[in-house]
Amino acid sequence: MTFEMFGQLLGGIGMFLLGMQLLTNGMKNAAGRSLKKALEFATRSRLRGLVSGTLITALVQSSSAVTVATLGFVNAGLLTLGQSIAVIYGCNIGTTMVGWLVATIGFKIQISAFALPIIGMGMLLQVIGKQQRISHLGTALVGFGIFFIGLDFMRAGFDGLSDDFQLAALGTGVLALGLFVIAGFVMTFLMQASAAVMAIALSLVHTESITMSAAAAVVIGANLGTTTTAILASIGATSNAKRISAAHVAFNLLTGAVGLVLLMLLAGRLDALNPQQYDLVILLALFHTLFNVMGVILMWPLTTPLERFLLTRFRSQEEDEARPRFIDKTIINTPTLAIEAISLELGRVSQLSSRLAREAISSERNASAKLEQQAKGIQYLISKIAEFNQEIGRQNLSPDIHEVLPISMRVMRYYSEVTRLSAKLPEFYSMVDQIENKSVKQAIFNFQKQVVSLIDLCEIQEESSVQGTQGHQLVLTLEKEYQNLKSLLLEQSTLGHLSSDESIALLDAVSHINRLAEQVEKGARYWSYATPAAQRAPLAMPTAATH
């Protein structure tokens, strides 16, 4: 093999990868929000998730883009983990489209006859599109053309390779097939593109440089190699990202193991196929598709157990905190203990929501994702306490215990509102940061400090017996400060020291903070009533004005 042929092969692989990158980026940008809308189809059932994953990946030719979008849907609660796993199954089937493009077009048609005009048309769309959807489609067309030109160079390079390296001479035994699997795995890991490895395998078969069974082993190795991308992407990622990556790895490992066993059994028959009678390139593309479809068939009945298993793994701090620690079905039939358990759980909710509120008041806009994740965990815990509360209500209860249940629900509602308001606060802080009026900034800062002091005072601690009297007095003082701050903002807006947009945003922000403070105080005050009257510590009754 001459240096020129080696350069042709290396350049062909590079152009192929460049074409894939341009094609993927162009299609992703052209799809825009359509990708999200298409994934919404997956929220109905796992079967729809499978179809969505297959079609979207076949269109944009990027399983990673679909995986990222899927992860966003899972984190937003729009997709269950089981549905997202089904989308991942579909992604594996969708990636086989590259093999079909190469097999049906790349080796059947004269590349220059259509690739160059496609590149020219794509560049024309880019020029006239001006960063609109048509421009992104132009990028995709350019990538499509470069993709096939790179494939043409690869094919020519492998023609020269077949004269000097007879890979078929390695044989078809277990050891040889294992080596080809490792080769496919390593190439995918190095290039981070299973499509390129698939194109290499098809090119080797086309030039008869490799046996059919060896090429199939390379394809299996490429499928296994994609797990490295998932593993690398999961490092330092969210719990859901780790679970989806683990599902991807499990899918590929199982299908790879089964596919390799079948390949070892069928290797002799595959290698005996006559290239004059059978189109081996088409057969290899078919094998790639059937291999992934077989994986889905094998994994489909295992999806529910896999989902249950993954939900117990990779738990984040927020998810661990969201798990109830005191309420348990075993104490349902002992209402006194059950009420005490609810009181303890509500104390935890107070601590979690207080921490969230403090972080929200002092946070910046870019912390919103973390706050939303914490808020989700707290809301989940509250929902579990509410379900337990309803279960107790179905028991035969004494009057003093029965009166506690609606009070507990009231406390849950207060802390749920604290959580919701806390998660929304960072939305306002970009405007606060831009305020140049020092007196307004200082007044808002002082108000925030007073609210944090109230949160500290009202947070329910393990040894607390009474919460409320001091907090109630402080919240009345805080209400006066709130009214003074509102007057200041309105005055500064009237004098022209604040724009109308600034004043509206700031009024909304301080209103949110003030309401958050009110809900914190009410939650602590009513918590002391979430125990039977006989066990209740004395507490100043709330005034009607604060209900």
Q: What is the pLDDT of residues 476-523, one digit of tens each?
A: 888 888 898 889 888 888 888 888 877 888 888 889 889 999 999 888
Dihedral (CA of 118, 120, 122, 128) sign: negative
330 in a structural domain = no
Whether 298 is covered by a domain: the verdict is yes
* 228 has a pLDDT exceeding 60: yes
Asked if residue 302 belongs to a domain, the reply is: yes
Place of tokens 């379900």: 387
Task: Indicate whether 236 pLDDT > 80.
Answer: no
Is the pLDDT confidence value at 364 over 70? no
Among 113-117, 246-250, 336-340, the range of highest mean pLDDT = 246-250
In terms of domains, do 45 and 180 share one? yes
Mean pLDDT of 80-84: 84
As a whole number, mean pLDDT of residues 49-65 equals 79
Residue 57: inside a domain: yes
Residue 320 within any structural domain of the chain: no
Mean pLDDT, residues 273-291 taken together: 84
In a domain, 543, yes or no: no
Are residue 240 and residue 385 in the same domain, yes or no?
no
Domain containing 348 — which CATH number? 1.20.58.220
Q: What is the pLDDT of the chain when averaged over all its residues?
A: 79
* Confidence at 350, pLDDT banded by 50, 70, 90: very high
Q: How many domains does the chain have?
A: 2
| Whole-angstrom distance, CA of residue 404 vs CA of residue 412 | 13
Residue 466 within a domain? yes
Closest C-alpha among 276, 280, 95 to residue 188 = 95
| Amino acid found at 488 | L
**What pLDDT score was predicted for residue 287?**
87
Nearest Cα to Cα of residue 266 among 283, 254, 289: 283
Output 271 or 315, whichever has higher pLDDT: 271
Q: Which domain holds residue 403?
A: 335-534
Is it the case that residue 238 has pLDDT exceeding 60?
yes
| pLDDT of res. 537 | 46
Which domain-ending residue is among 255, 283, 313?
A: 313
pLDDT at 538 over 60: no
Task: Give the model's pLDDT for residue 229.
Answer: 73
Average pLDDT on 49-58 reads 85
The DSSP result for 84-110, as a single string, is HHHHHHHHHHHTTHHHHHIIIIITTS-
What is the mean predicted confidence (pLDDT) over 436-443? 80
Q: Is 321 contained in some domain? A: no
On whether both 290 and 344 belong to a single domain, the answer is: no
The tokens describing 431, both together, are: 């405007």
pLDDT at 443 over 80: yes
- What integer is the mean pLDDT of 275-294? 85
Cα(284)–Cα(96) distance, rounded to whole angstroms?
11
Percent of the chain whose pLDDT exceeds 90:
7
Task: Note the pLDDT of residue 413.
Answer: 94
Q: Are residues 58 and 187 in the same domain?
A: yes
Tell whether 111 and 232 lie within a shared domain: yes
Whether 145 shows a pLDDT value over 70: the answer reads yes
Contact 183, 209 (CB under 8 A): no
